[in-house]
């Protein structure tokens, strides 16, 4: 889009800041700003005190990481935040005050009624709503992967209920999650004791149904995000979601096993047709050839992948499906950059 | 049970044969026959040609593995089979002909109407039905783990539908599955290429929704077992199951995320009470303390473990729960030995 605009007029370029530049999502944001040739006039890399002075490379130029402070956003036009909800709550309003549009990857503002929660392939028009607060929220990583196949099914057959069980990669917990699986695996191979630091339990050769904090109703915050964010993104408060989220010993890409009930019956043939047309989603569903989505296939890819399409033998208005997506890309950094591209394309 | 019997009368001992003695389940059967002090008078270890002559130890005595042939079962009273469906189909009838009762861990006879499919804590009385064919079938490993919490919920509230997504360990595919994860992990740590042999794809740091063969309706044989075996074990053909089975990079213990719909509403408090009373099942459900079932906790244990009990926010007649069990023990070898113990205790 930006390239096409550029052919017609002198291409406008933007002063961009990335808050949380040294994290797993921040890393991916920088790579995607390069890859997608986002019109960056200037780039400010921001992080906590711990990472101050670190040098990162962007388009061949070395850039020093600055400490995130109240004054960081002077002159910034687009601020990409991925530094956790606490820092977003503190610094995003300051960035807005300084004149920037904030695209926030944390959970801080997602459910605020005057903050749009955007997946560009699904609800691009809601992005204009950022004008109320200056903030656009990027959804939870697992929610994004889930709603990609739900959107075309909902448009055609009205999704009434989803039972979802997730298989979430360690990089969903950031670089410390990646490091933990790597360290525990190496220790295991060397016959050394396995140390637990980043997660509540050993993750190498193990898994646990515990992501984010437990709430009084027994669900985790992660699980509740799947319920409420799905409704907001699809713009339908009547959709019911029954979620269980599980951490697995995989480095990158979240998988979700979904049972999707619809008001109007959708055959597998129809579902395949609908899903195939969804931008950002690829159908991989030839199990006889051993073809279905898997984390090692999805990692590093922009698209999400859906397969194992089956009519539910227990409910004739339901489908089973399996969706996998790189949660650092489409689940986080890519979706945020796509939101920024949408702002640019629409001259917002 | 056998110990108590032994106190009262001269304890009868049995001529036992294990077909498939060198496999992952066979190994566990030998360990359990020892651990549980099963009344073994003589033990014959049988396997394919490849393992003939191998020496295994049982109660400190070394025993040579013999090749499984038509004549193997002369004098055998109890034959434990875990050598795959093809060998069971060929040799189980020969063992019966020779006078043995066969307890078969393969899928060969499970759905035959005149072969009981037994989980001793659930349907012990059906075991007497072995007299028709001389064969008792041991259910699929994931099915056993699933039905353990379903039984008390079904008795109280009538289970109508279950949506299940599994997280299945590599040892479910036998020793070659264990070896594959070990080898691929070591190669990864050493920076060497990862070879794929036992599974359709790399399993280290990956997972895939593919266990057993795909059927024309898009489900795998493993998934169909969860539907049909659950009905047979619980003795209720009206129970509907919607399954998705997934292989994960865990060595031992299968986990299942289950959404359980019941005719009569069951509160979490009631469910906890019902599940706590189920023999062979332990409730671990104190998430605020980081306590819930996990593979590394369940591996090597006889009991299955259930937790993450939650009322389904999308259906007021449904519960979400998470169950984990060592599929080599309760899911296979232990259940088979328990069936043998039942035969002994009931003088069948």
**How close A65 comes to chain B (CA, Å)?**
31
Interfacial B residues in 70-99 facing A (CB < 8 Å): none
Which three-class secondary structure state does DSSP give residue A134?
A: coil
pLDDT on residue B347: 83
User: Does residue A177 have a pLDDT over 60?
Assistant: yes
pLDDT digits (tens, 9 = 90+) for B195-254: 999 999 999 999 999 999 999 999 999 999 999 999 999 999 999 999 999 999 999 999
pLDDT digits (tens, 9 = 90+) for B220-237: 999 999 999 999 999 999
Nearest by CB: A259 against B188, B242, B249: B242
Q: How many CB atoms lie within 10 A of CB A182?
A: 16
C-alpha distances in Å from residue A333, one per residue of A18, A149, A327: 11, 19, 8
Nearest residue of A to residue B312 by CA position? A242
Which three-class secondary structure state does DSSP give residue B168?
A: strand
Sorted by sequence, the CB contacts under 8 Å of residue B237 that are 6+ apart come out as B231
A201 is catalytic: no
pLDDT digits (tens, 9 = 90+) for A211-246: 999 999 999 999 999 999 999 999 999 999 999 999
* Torsion sign (Cα): B64, B69, B75, B77: positive
Q: Does A218 contact B188 at a Cβ distance shorter than 8 Å?
A: no
pLDDT on residue B11: 80
Q: Could you tell me if A262 and A160 are in contact, meaning their C-beta atoms sit under 8 angstroms apart? A: yes
User: Does residue B342 have a pLDDT over 90?
Assistant: yes
Average pLDDT, chain B: 96
pLDDT band at B10 (very low <50, low <70, confident <90, very high): low
Which of A18, A156, A125, A20 has its CA nearest to residue A77?
A18
Mean pLDDT of A333-341: 98
Q: Could you tell me if A164 and A226 are in contact, meaning their C-beta atoms sit under 8 angstroms apart? A: yes
User: Does residue B40 have a pLDDT over 90?
Assistant: yes
What ipTM was predicted for this assembly? Answer: 0.95
For residues A258, A263, A269, A272, the Cα torsion angle rounded to the nearest 10 degrees is -50
User: Does residue A6 have a pLDDT over 60?
Assistant: no
pLDDT band at A347 (very low <50, low <70, confident <90, very high): confident
pLDDT on residue A11: 81
Q: What is the pTM of this model?
A: 0.96
pLDDT on residue A169: 98
Q: Given CB atoms, is B187 within the 8 Å cutoff of chain A? A: no
pLDDT on residue A19: 98
pLDDT digits (tens, 9 = 90+) for B144-159: 999 999 999 999 999 9
- How far apart are the C-alpha atoms of A30 and A63, rounded to whole Å? 11
Q: Given CB atoms, is B181 within the 8 Å cutoff of chain A? A: yes
Q: How many CB atoms lie within 10 A of CB B278?
A: 21
Q: Given CB atoms, is B213 within the 8 Å cutoff of chain A? A: no
**Which chain B residues are closer than 8 Å to A185 by Cβ?**
185, 188-189
Q: Does A185 contact B181 at a Cβ distance shorter than 8 Å?
A: no
Mean pLDDT of B271-282: 98
Listing DSSP states for B263-308 in one string gives: SS---HHHHHHHHHTSTTEEE--BGGGTB---HHHHTT-SSEEEEE
Q: How many CB atoms lie within 10 A of CB B3?
A: 10
Listing DSSP states for A72-109 in one string gives: TTTT-SEEEE-S-HHHHHHHHHHHHHTTPEEEE-SSSS
pLDDT digits (tens, 9 = 90+) for A74-117: 999 999 999 999 999 999 999 999 999 999 999 999 999 999 99
User: Does residue A40 have a pLDDT over 70?
Assistant: yes
**Which chain A residues are closer than 8 Å to B318 by Cβ?**
242
Which of B72, B81, B122, B87 has its CA nearest to residue B104?
B81
> Locate tokens 């213990």: which residue?
B253
Q: Where are the beta strands (DSSP E) in chain B?
A: 14-19, 40-47, 55-58, 61-64, 66-67, 78-81, 101-104, 135-137, 159-167, 240-244, 254-262, 281-283, 304-311, 318-325
- Per the structure block, which two tokens stand in for B58? 């049982």
> Locate tokens 């090597």: which residue?
B300
- How far apart are the C-alpha atoms of A259 and B341, rounded to whole Å? 40
Interface test with A, best of B142, B161, B163, B210 (most A CBs within 10 A): B163
- How far apart are the C-alpha atoms of A153 and A283, rounded to whole Å? 14
Which three-class secondary structure state does DSSP give residue A137?
A: strand
Which three-class secondary structure state does DSSP give residue B341?
A: helix
- How far apart are the C-alpha atoms of A325 and A297, rounded to whole Å? 9
A141 is catalytic: yes
pLDDT digits (tens, 9 = 90+) for A115-153: 999 999 999 999 999 999 999 999 999 999 999 999 999
Mean pLDDT of B164-173: 98
pLDDT on residue A9: 55
pLDDT on residue B187: 98
Average pLDDT, chain A: 96
Q: Given CB atoms, is A63 within the 8 Å cutoff of chain B? A: no
- How far apart are the C-alpha atoms of A49 and A68, rounded to whole Å? 8
User: Does residue B264 have a pLDDT over 60?
Assistant: yes
Listing DSSP states for A189-207 in one string gives: HTTPPPP--SSSS--TT--
Which three-class secondary structure state does DSSP give residue A347?
A: coil
Mean pLDDT of B305-313: 98
Listing DSSP states for A207-269 in one string gives: -BS--S-B-TTS-BHHHHHHHHHHHHHHT-TT-EEEEE--B-S-SS-EEEEEEEEESS---HH
Query: 3-class secondary structure for B194-218?
Result: CCCCCCCCCCCCCCECCCCCECCCC
pLDDT on residue A7: 47
pLDDT band at B293 (very low <50, low <70, confident <90, very high): very high
Which three-class secondary structure state does DSSP give residue B149?
A: helix
pLDDT on residue A3: 37
Residue B36 phi, psi dihedral angles, 5° rounding: -90, 5
**How close A70 comes to chain B (CA, Å)?**
36
User: Does residue A30 have a pLDDT over 70?
Assistant: yes
Q: Does B201 contact A165 at a Cβ distance shorter than 8 Å?
A: no
User: Does residue B4 have a pLDDT over 80?
Assistant: no
Mean pLDDT of A186-195: 97
- How far apart are the C-alpha atoms of A197 and B94, rounded to whole Å? 55
């Amino acid at each position: 889009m930006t390239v096409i605009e550029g052919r017609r007029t002198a291409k406008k370029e933007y002063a961009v800041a990335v808050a949380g530049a040294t994290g797993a999502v921040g890393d991916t944001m920088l790579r995607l700003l390069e890859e997608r040739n986002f019109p960056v006039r200037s780039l400010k890399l921001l992080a906590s005190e711990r990472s101050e002075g670190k040098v990162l490379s962007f388009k061949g130029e070395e850039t020093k990481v600055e400490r995130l402070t109240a004054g960081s956003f002077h002159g910034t036009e687009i601020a990409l935040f991925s530094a956790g909800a606490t820092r977003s709550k503190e610094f995003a309003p300051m960035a807005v005050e300084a004149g920037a549009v904030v695209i926030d990857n944390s959970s801080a503002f997602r459910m605020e009624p005057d903050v749009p929660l955007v997946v560009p392939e699904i609800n691009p028009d809601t992005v204009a709503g950022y004008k109320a607060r200056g903030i656009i929220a990027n959804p939870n990583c697992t929610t994004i992967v889930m709603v990609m196949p739900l959107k075309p099914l909902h448009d055609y057959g009205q999704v009434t209920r989803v039972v979802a069980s997730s298989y979430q990669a360690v990089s969903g917990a950031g670089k410390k999650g990646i490091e933990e699986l790597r360290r525990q695996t190496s220790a295991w191979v060397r016959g050394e004791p396995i140390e637990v630091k980043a997660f509540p339990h050993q993750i190498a050769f193990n898994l646990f149904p515990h992501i984010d904090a437990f709430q009084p109703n027994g669900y985790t915050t992660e699980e509740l995000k799947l319920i409420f964010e799905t409704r907001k993104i699809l713009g339908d408060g009547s959709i019911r979601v029954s979620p269980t989220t599980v951490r697995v010993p995989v480095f990158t890409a979240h998988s979700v096993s979904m049972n999707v009930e619809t008001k109007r019956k959708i055959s597998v043939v129809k579902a395949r047709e609908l899903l195939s047309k969804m931008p950002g989603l690829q159908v991989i569903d030839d199990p006889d050839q051993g073809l279905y989505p898997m984390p090692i296939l999805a990692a590093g890819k922009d698209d999400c992948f859906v397969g194992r399409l089956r009519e539910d033998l227990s409910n004739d208005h339901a489908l089973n499906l399996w969706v996998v997506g790189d949660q650092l890309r489409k689940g986080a950094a890519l979706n945020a950059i796509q939101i920024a591209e949408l702002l640019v394309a629409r001259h917002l």
